[in-house]
Amino acid sequence: MTEMVYGSIPDRVGEPILPRWWRTIDKWALSCVFILFGIGLLLGLAASPPLAQKNDLPAFYYVQRQAFFGGLGLIVMLLITMMDPAKVRRYAVIGFGAALFSLLLLPTFGTDFGKGATRWFSLGFASVQPSEFLKPAFVITAAWLMAAAHEIGGPPGRLYSFFLALVIVMLLALQPDFGQASLVLFSWLVMYFVAGAPILLLGGIAGLVVAGGTFAYHNSEHFARRIDGFLNPAIDPTTQIGYATNAIREGGFFGVGVGEGTVKWSLPDAHTDFIIAVAAEEYGVVLVAIIITLYATITVRSLWRLLRERDPFIRLAGTGLACAFGVQAFINMGVAVRLLPAKGMTLPFVSYGGSSVIASGIALGALLAFTRTRPQGEIGDILIRRGR
């Protein structure tokens, strides 16, 4: 009866790992990830040559690097999807500790690459952004703590996860990186809501967020400048937002044509934060709609499959990862069309960036591992097992 209601498929005794993996994985979501990466390479062919020319590098230098790091990210993703949830959790907790330690070292050993925010470690041949790896690791760690609170005699995991979230948000705000800080806080709030948080408490946290934003506005020139630019009804055509909105307007429905766009020569971040502007200008609304559909498919299908999941940890971690993935894409595209203030956030699997694409591979690998079809068991069996 349980299988009829929840659609679970029992494990087949002695079944090899690859056939079992293929039978239980969400093939639609997996396909969408590969299509997004392919679109990212396609847009990279258009967006990165101007930057390569400016830096006296081969025309497709950045595309080749994106293909390399993207391929590495996809391999990592596939390997993680084959793990069981307990193993994913174990590696995530270890990774969270390493990423948090790296974040603490950023003020001393990090660099800003002239962008006004110390977010990276420069390794000479490449750079690493610890916050990208911290996000999925934090979501899984926080979900583990919250799920532990459901166990008989378990620790106050919700409180512990809240303190961890506050520490991370403060460290990110000091860089400053308010975009990543808001994404971490949003992920925690979603999981806390799913875990059964009181509405009054969520309202109180929302009030703290507003108070924190007000404080940041009056004490951070970086934050205030972006908010003022967003609220100003007039758009300076020489800013990145100005170039991006003009490119989207010029693209129309079908775009100006492959390779015919001009925004990539004006936008310094055309290959990263504003890659959607390149897509809109050269390929039009058609490609943008396809990209939005791909992100929505991954997010909605993951949440739908998690609805029938009975394990609290898997349900919480999967929900946090799915929502963080979808909201990051929404923020990136929302900034480009001026629905949101500038955040400096990449478009997962599409924007250029080694840290971004590998971290996205880790996050989606964990999400696909959590949403694999597995026997749920009777609810009484789960409660008895957790009470031991």
Q: Is the peptide bond before 176 cis (omega within 30 degrees of 0)?
A: yes
Closest CA to 364 of 31, 42, 67, 93: 31
Contacts with 107 (C-beta within 8 Å, 6 or more apart), sequence order = 118, 174
- The position carrying tokens 């378990």 is 154
**337: enclosing H helix or E strand:** none
Residue type, 116: G
Question: Residue 377: is its pLDDT beyond 70?
Answer: no
Residue that wins the pLDDT comparison between 72 and 195: 72
Show the tokens assigned to 297.
């498919």
User: Residue 261: what pLDDT?
Assistant: 79
Q: Which of the four pLDDT bands, split at 50, 70 and 90, describes residue 71?
A: very high
Q: What length does the chain have?
A: 388
Q: Is beta strand 121-122 parallel, antiparallel or unpaired with respect to 127-128?
A: antiparallel
Lowest mean pLDDT among 148-157, 219-228, 358-367: 219-228
Position 84 pLDDT exceeds 80: yes
In angstroms, how far apart are the furthest CA atoms of the chain? 66
- Give the per-residue pLDDT at 66: 92
Q: Is the pLDDT of residue 113 over 70?
A: yes
pTM value is 0.87
Domain spans, the chain: 15-387
Name beta bridge partners: 115: none
Residue 80: φ, ψ to 5°: -70, -35
Q: CA neighbours within 13 Å on the CB side: how many for 84?
A: 5
Mean pLDDT value across the chain: 84
The pLDDT score that the predictor gives to residue 252 is: 82
pLDDT at 258: 79
- pLDDT given at position 6: 41
Band of pLDDT at residue 4, cut at 50, 70 and 90: very low
**CA 149 – CA 151 distance, rounded (Å):** 5
pLDDT of 200 > 90? The answer is no
Nearest CA to 369 among 133, 80, 27? 80
Please tell me which of 78-87, 213-222, 251-260 the model is most confident about, judged by mean pLDDT.
Answer: 78-87
pLDDT attached to residue 161 = 92
What pLDDT is attached to residue 369? 96
Number of C-beta neighbours around residue 150 at 10 A: 16
pLDDT band at 234 (very low <50, low <70, confident <90, very high): low
Residue 163's pLDDT is what? 92
Separation CA 135–CA 204 (nearest Å):
24
Highest mean pLDDT among 47-56, 143-152, 226-235: 143-152
Mean pLDDT of 67-84: 95
Lowest average pLDDT, out of 11-15, 73-77, 208-212, goes to 11-15
Over residues 229-252, the mean pLDDT reads 72
Of 154, 166, 80, give the one whose Cα is nearest residue 313. 154
Which residue has better confidence, 334 or 78? 78
Question: What pLDDT, on the 0 to 100 scale, is given for residue 235?
Answer: 65
Residue 296: Cβ-neighbour burial (10 angstroms; 0-12, 13-18, 19+)? middle
d(CA 306, CA 258) in angstroms, rounded, equals 39
Which residues neighbour 69 within 8 Å (Cβ) at sequence distance 6 or greater?
353, 354, 357, 358
Contacts 24+ apart (CB under 8 A), 287-294: 287/39, 287/255, 288/333, 290/39, 291/36, 291/39, 291/333, 291/350, 292/329, 292/333, 294/32, 294/35, 294/36, 294/39
Q: What percent of the chain has pLDDT over 70?
A: 87
* Least reliable range by pLDDT among 31-40, 100-109, 203-212: 203-212
Range name among 22-26, 57-61, 255-259, 274-278 with the lowest pLDDT average:
255-259
CA distance 215 to 202: 20
